[in-house]
Structure 1
Amino acid sequence: MKPTAQRKQAQQTPAPEDAAPAARGKRLAPEEREQQIVEKAIKYFATHGFSGGTRELAKEIGVTQPLLYRYFPNKEALVDRVFQEVYLARWNPDWEDWLKDRSVPLKERMKRYYKDYARFILRNEWIRIFIFAGLTREGINQRYLTRLRERIFNVVLEELHHEYKLAPPTPSQHEDEIELVWGMHASIFYVGMRKWVYGLPVPKDLDHMVEQKVYAFLEGAPNVMRTMRSDPPA
């Protein structure tokens, strides 16, 4: 083949799309490449948030934009996959059963659940993606918190009513009581904020920290609920 023909053929041969020009490596199976993109996107969103476009995101991940679109047709699809990976895939389906198991004292049930939950959420990517998503309204927070309220908060209240022999609440009382559970959850979430957002030291013994918070909640919440029910309407 003549040199000019060789040059022409080389110019017409398309470059592989599996990686950006500066980051080409071995070819990966489609499912491996997709998982790699997701894992790098998790790190990207946890570090930079959601404000960047797909071009910037693809460059940071180390793939071309066309390749990114091959696996995820738009940014929203990738964000949804990150939500599935970071929040839903790590949700322990046993949590609800642990909280509902009345053969075990409520204090022990709550300690078991919150210790496991703390290990689940007190991670860099979990906390930082959640904060960034809340600021940019990506929808992750609303979907996750709706699940949390339906599957955990309401169960905790039901078990409190049973354990402390409290009558079923009125709708307005229920909302007041939900706020108490929010406070319990927020106290654990804030430990992650201190570590991964503010860079402050946190307790090394997370189990001990969780036990303290559960004890404080169970010592205070039932009494507050009784007092609120006895107060006359405003």
Structure 2
Amino acid sequence: MDGQTERPARDGEDGATRRRLPPAERRQQIVDEAVRFFAEVGLEGKTRELARRLGVTQSLIFNYFATKDELIDAVYEKVYIGRLSPAWPERLTDRSVPLRDRLLAFYSEYSALIFEREWMRIFMFSGLAGASLNRRYLEHLGDVILLPLLAETEALAQTDAPPKMEDVWNLHGGIVYIGIRQHIYRMPKPAKPQEEIARAIDKYLLYFGIDSEN
């Protein structure tokens, strides 16, 4: 969260015991547990409690991350940016492949990565807390995925009214909602999520008069 300046306790203050690990392995361990921790309790969770779960001192965490903000940034990189494949923009704009096939391939892969409890709950907690994680992620997603998708839709649309960015966000949001329904609202997920994704894509293409073979 913006402005987090939580500082470490002194070694031994929290009574934690420590097992020595190589620095890179220890840092990864902290980030992995922080993902699980913040997904469970929200971004207001205290690093003292995170340290207790890790079995280390709070000060050890701050040896790797100067502030809680830095730790949350590392969580952001792992949960959000680390799941966006650098190959997706090129594949989404490959006009040798029908747009429907490109969309199906992208959202099948994307949904497999984000339809997870940790991703959904951290995203929810970040939004509720007014943290910058959501804004940064959605801006990045818009630039590298949704703007190219809008251009591809514009190139094929057969309607008088041109596609707008809001139309692309509506498609994207409708698909993401499948995961929200399961992990946030605790409602049963569709029996066949991929069929729901295909239905949303077909509805989107039909709205703009785009043939599924184009």
Q: Under a length normalisation based on structure 2, what TM-score does the superposition of the two structures give?
A: 0.85
Which deviates further from its counterpart, 184-193 or 199-208?
A: 199-208
Q: Output the amino acid matched with 2:78.
A: E
Counterpart Cα distance in 2 of 1:52 and 1:110: 37
| Structure 2, unpaired ranges of 5+ | 1-10, 210-214
Q: For residue 179 of structure 1, report the CA deviation from its aligned partner.
A: 1.0
Match of 1:208 among 195, 205, 208: 195
Counterpart Cα distance in 2 of 1:191 and 1:73: 37
Q: Output the amino acid matched with 1:58.
A: A
Aligned twin of 1:180 = 167
Aligned twin of 1:127 = 120
Aligned twin of 1:113 = 106
Counterpart Cα distance in 2 of 1:28 and 1:54: 19
Counterpart Cα distance in 1 of 2:177 and 2:154: 27
Give the percent of matched residue pairs that are identical in Structure 1 and Structure 2. 38
Match of 1:40 among 33, 38, 56: 33
Asked if the contact 2:35–2:75 (Cα under 8 Å) also holds between the matched residues in 1, the reply is yes
Asked if the contact 1:184–1:217 (Cα under 8 Å) also holds between the matched residues in 2, the reply is yes
Counterpart Cα distance in 1 of 2:147 and 2:16: 51
Aligned length: 199
Q: Output the amino acid matched with 2:196.
A: M
Counterpart Cα distance in 1 of 2:152 and 2:158: 10
Q: For residue 121 of structure 1, report the CA deviation from its aligned partner.
A: 1.2
State which structure, 1 or 2, has the greater radius of gyration over its C-alpha atoms. Answer: 1
Counterpart Cα distance in 2 of 1:93 and 1:150: 13
Aligned twin of 1:60 = 53
Aligned twin of 1:217 = 204
Aligned twin of 1:72 = 65
| Secondary structure of 2:83 counterpart | coil
1:147 matched to 2:133? The reply is no
- Structure number with the higher helix fraction is 1
Q: Output the amino acid matched with 2:51.
A: A
Match of 2:152 among 159, 162, 170: 159
Asked if the contact 2:16–2:51 (Cα under 8 Å) also holds between the matched residues in 1, the reply is no
The alignment yields a C-alpha RMSD, in angstroms, of 2.2
Counterpart Cα distance in 2 of 1:163 and 1:52: 47
Q: Output the amino acid matched with 1:47.
A: E
Q: Output the amino acid matched with 1:191.
A: I
Asked if the contact 1:115–1:206 (Cα under 8 Å) also holds between the matched residues in 2, the reply is no
Q: Output the amino acid matched with 1:210.
A: I
Asked if the contact 2:30–2:54 (Cα under 8 Å) also holds between the matched residues in 1, the reply is yes
Aligned twin of 2:8 = none
Asked if the contact 1:41–1:61 (Cα under 8 Å) also holds between the matched residues in 2, the reply is no
Q: For residue 58 of structure 1, report the CA deviation from its aligned partner.
A: 2.2
Asked if the contact 1:111–1:210 (Cα under 8 Å) also holds between the matched residues in 2, the reply is yes
Aligned twin of 2:76 = 83
